[in-house]
Structure 1
Amino acid sequence: MRTHADIARACFQAYADGDRAALDAVLAADLHFTSPLDNGVDLNTCLEIGWPKQANIVRFRFVRVVEHGATVLLTDAQTRSDGSVGRSTEVLTIRDGRIHAVEVYFGWLVPIRRRRACISRRDDQTARCRPMLRFPKEKGRANGAPSSALKRSQLQPTRNLSVSSRPLFSRM
């Protein structure tokens, strides 16, 4: 018998392989998909939006997979066809061998490790080396920094008393 974690991994593998039949075998007809961009969309809408994007995914590497009852918490690193690597964390609810709910939290790129950069001193010719990190270049961003990064000046305190009395931060 497959565990819930096995079902979650099978879903990601089917997506990376472009195997729609295998994907349909693990997704429930009453699936609800929620992400920062989509709020509780149904199975058809989820596939309409997400399935064409699978062609850009080369593979998934699982950073963590935690199974707790009917819930699987999964953090993955997706390698894309352009060489960039993104991470997301997903909370999957699984019943009767199928995924019924998906919550996705995403938005960051994983830096690519480059060769070591050495800084040498002329007087004694010693060198200090440290690894250089860079982000994959995004369209319209010359320095390659993630476009979702916010500056401190773009944040303003707000209050949301229904959740907590502590100040939260949001975009201006």
Structure 2
Amino acid sequence: MTAATREDTVRGLYKAYVEGRKGIVDGTLSEDFTFSSPRDDHIDRNAYFDRCWPEPPFVRGIEIEFLAIDGDEAVVRYRAEKADGTAFRNMEALRFKDGKLVSVEVYFGREVV
């Protein structure tokens, strides 16, 4: 997969999250996908959807401020606007293998204006 294609995939994942389109993301995740954050330690894909995909989505927009891709890894810094109008900034490290997303590690930021 080229860097441009990987970039499109990563941007598409964040867009799908805002739109609440789990099916798009589910098709991108590997069977052994794990998600980690300060609150979650290597949870599997089922727990990821249960914990991280509320309905309706709690964010109404995500602006990718920084995106770096190196082979099968990507680092993303984004600003997310919540449904209540407040915003926060996070960083995430994504790893791919054989065209599928195998892990996401989230590093929480802070509330921003």
Normalising to structure 1: TM-score of the pair? 0.61
Equivalent AA in structure 1 for residue 29 of structure 2: L
Equivalent AA in structure 1 for residue 73 of structure 2: T
The aligned length equals 111
User: Which residue of structure 2 lines up, in the alignment, with residue 62 of structure 1?
Assistant: 64
- Aligned positions of 1:20-169 closer than 5 A: 20-52=22-54, 55-110=57-112, 112=113
Q: Distance in 1 between matches of 2:55 and 2:104?
A: 17
Deviations 1:131-171 (A, max 9, x none): xxxxxxxxxxxxxxxxxxxxxxxxxxxxxxxxxxxxxxxxx
- SS, match of residue 105 in structure 2: strand
Tell me, which stretches of 5 or more residues in structure 1 are unaligned?
A: 113-172
When structure 1 is superposed on structure 2, of 74-83 and 94-103 the one drifting more is 94-103
Conservation of the 8 A alpha-carbon contact between 2:20 and 2:57: yes
Q: Distance in 2 between matches of 1:82 and 1:60?
A: 14
- Please state how far the C-alpha of 1:107 moved relative to its aligned partner: 3.4
Conservation of the 8 A alpha-carbon contact between 1:7 and 1:97: no
Structure showing the higher helix proportion among its residues: 2
Normalising to structure 2: TM-score of the pair? 0.90
Q: Distance in 2 between matches of 1:78 and 1:54?
A: 15
Tell me, which stretches of 5 or more residues in structure 2 are unaligned?
A: none
- SS, match of residue 40 in structure 1: coil
Q: For the pair shown, which has the larger CA radius of gyration, 1 or 2?
A: 1
Conservation of the 8 A alpha-carbon contact between 2:20 and 2:55: no
What is the percent sequence identity of the aligned residues? 30
The higher relative CO (CA closer than 8 Å, separation ≥ 6) is in 2
